[in-house]
Chain A
């Protein structure tokens, strides 16, 4: 796999400047060779006189598209390592129209104007000067442009059109070849330009493109496999797994049923570790607990619509049962409720086991060596115990092998809450706690952890003060602390940050909080636990993750960190504000903390790791990238901090506790603001 500078976060290095210069040299050389140093030739396309722009641009586009598809299919590069521009519909439509008018007026676009300038063209210099002025104008008018800048994230055209990447690439190639012939015919009729109609070069090039486009159906391995994100491998997957091809013979059998997912395709995606597919087991819980596809969630048919609401038309929902009748009904029901992304697993769980997990030696038809290797890999993945993370915590019953810190499921806690060194901290407020809590749990008021520090409100207390509280609760460093929230998961995560500040990393967060515990009918108690105060010794230097505004400012200016603003979108955009100024930190990305939560009417739980990983891989270039999370007061951001650092394994996550409250109140700090509130 080729490592790109972008993926390494090295686009700002001196080496990147030198390599960019070399890429530019090749770019400029090719453009000049093509005759793009002449505005007359460039403008020719708008008068159907000289169609060189169309020919060069589309052959370049199709060449790069096909080349990239092959490199991805062969495992040389993954799209995760390339910067993908988000789609911003309004800005790109209006921008495109204005750009087109400017192109027709000047006869240049920015790249070709540089070529024209090098060729001595005065009009190219004028165009470049105009472009500099136009850019400055944009900067001045930027606040007024904000309504157009509503990002829709990275969007792939074939996914929007509902066809596979391979099919779309093939159709685009065919269209390009047809366009080539059409413009050559046009130029021959008008006797303008050079005559390549029926020339060997056009025939040869056209044939070559078509052959490679058809070949994609063979190497691509099936609909959408090569290009639509399935190759965004998790770094936790062993490199050997990444390099492997989608299972040759088996995957070749995958066909594009409109509402079906073939078991092989599902197995391939799940083993790759990252996917925006949610696999839903609709069987009764007892059957689910006995055996299920690794990574699947269990949702009874009656709760399907409510529980799947957050996944409506986002990624793919794959439904399965033992056979196909129930999932098909479920799919039809979901479809009638507006879910366009519900699929059923062909042949259900039975088929999945038969087709993907049956050892090669037990099969009636022999498998090729490649397919046999794929089956072995799938068996290893699906038949092994869980990975570190939430599922693992849920499946682990051995105390010593817990992943700490991490998430825990109610069933683990139900088995272990009575143990002496499992200490439960209940972060709900008081009438709720006294009217029923998990037996033995200690109440902690969040407000005792936070206060005004250095004039900034709602700051997390220093380690020594947190330590005092932990001592009063009788905690010891060897204890495993289980944090239980109500429906606000961020109540547990802010306590998690408090524990990390004092260096206590032996903690778990109860996924689903008290609501899930209650919903599952697990025991509760109204008695207060007996506590003997301890001397909890704190590590005063454990907090390497809390940052102040100067640090954020530095990262912002250098663009050396991904700043994630987790407040609700209307606060990010500035249409709502509770603080001195409205808007957000320049360059910050919006990812509301609520996006990471799967809400139901009974409780809130974290979304599946796969989905979270996929979502954040769109925002953060690599596991080692510096990430700063903030909200208004640090509370909500603690949740995103936990998700990134403990659930997804990002190594360099920083927490700007003071948040927007401070940033907005310091007029010297730059903001991107909407219209005045």
Chain B
């Protein structure tokens, strides 16, 4: 059975999605005006990845084509790393105010924890890989590039939904209640 357990009562605590979207749009505008670049999350993760790889295999990483130039100096000194830290801090503040911080593995009540954990990890791996391939994620390409009406970003956005809907049925068990 595919029934989501998020009840209207819990949802009520969330902000009106249109107001949230409006505020998200204003945040993106502010980013355009101040930084001259849009929002981004996967760029920060990639920098952390470069840093991590450089800790374990420094010579190999420095010689690599993609991460190599980042590793000549501290790869973490990059604006998107700081934006990612900000994202963490901002959402932590919001979650604390709303009393929504809870340590758990989110899944359907009847779904095996192992399945959910494995899918989260594999999904993350695909997301990380694809973000580098497309030079951005939902934030950096789909939202930012979409607002700029860039062709590639909008194609990326459409393809995200195509890929998501194609895969969703196969992994529905993780949300079983």
Contacts and interface: CB of A to CB of B under 8 A. Distances in A.
Contacts of B6: 38, 40-41, 44, 50, 192-193
A35 interface: yes
B164 A104 contact: yes
A212 B6 CA distance: 35
Contacts of B26: 63-64, 67
A168 B149 contact: yes
B interface, by DSSP: helix, strand, loop or mixed? helix
A499 to B, nearest CB: 35
A399 interface: no
Contacts of B98: 32-33
B124 A92 contact: no
Given A39-B120, A95-B159, A156 B91 contact: no
Nearest to B35: A5
Most buried by B among A30, A196, A557, A587: A30
Contacts of A205: 18-19, 22
Contacts of A145: 133
A569 interface: no
B162 A57 contact: no
Interface in B52-100: 52-53, 61-69, 72-73, 77-80, 82-95, 98, 100
Contact of A29 (B94, B103, B159): B94
Nearest to A93: B159
Given A105-B167, A108-B120, A130-B122, A138 B66 contact: yes
A513 to B, nearest CB: 38
Contacts of B157: 96
A562 B150 CA distance: 22
Interface in B94-134: 94-95, 98, 100-108, 116-117, 119-134
B34 A98 contact: no
B152 A89 contact: yes
A87 B98 CA distance: 40
Interface string B21-44: 111111111111111111101101
Contacts, number: 593
Contacts of A27: 24, 27, 31, 39, 83, 86-87, 90, 139
B84 A102 contact: no
B51 to A, nearest CB: 9
A68 B146 CA distance: 12
B42 A131 contact: yes
B150 A84 contact: yes
B151 A87 contact: yes
A85 B153 contact: yes
A139 B66 contact: yes
Nearest to B157: A96
Contacts of B69: 556-557, 559, 586-587, 670
Interface residues of A, number: 151
Contacts of B77: 12, 17
A142 B65 CA distance: 7
Contacts of B172: 47
B31 A23 contact: yes
B8 to A, nearest CB: 6
A64 B48 CA distance: 29
23 contacts: A4-B32, A18-B82, A20-B79, A23-B34, A25-B89, A25-B90, A25-B93, A34-B21, A47-B4, A59-B24, A61-B146, A64-B147, A68-B148, A79-B148, A87-B155, A94-B130, A98-B130, A100-B160, A112-B138, A127-B123, A128-B45, A135-B131, A158-B149
Interface of B: 2, 4-6, 8, 11-12, 14-39, 41-42, 44-46, 48-50, 52-53, 61-69, 72-73, 77-80, 82-95, 98, 100-108, 116-117, 119-168, 171-172, 174-175
Closest A-B pairs by Cβ, 8 of them: A24-B86, A100-B163, A130-B124, A96-B159, A63-B25, A106-B123, A59-B21, A134-B128
Given A63-B21, A96-B157, A98-B130, 14 more contacts: A4-B36, A5-B37, A27-B86, A28-B93, A37-B95, A60-B23, A64-B26, A67-B25, A97-B162, A108-B127, A109-B139, A135-B50, A196-B17, A670-B69
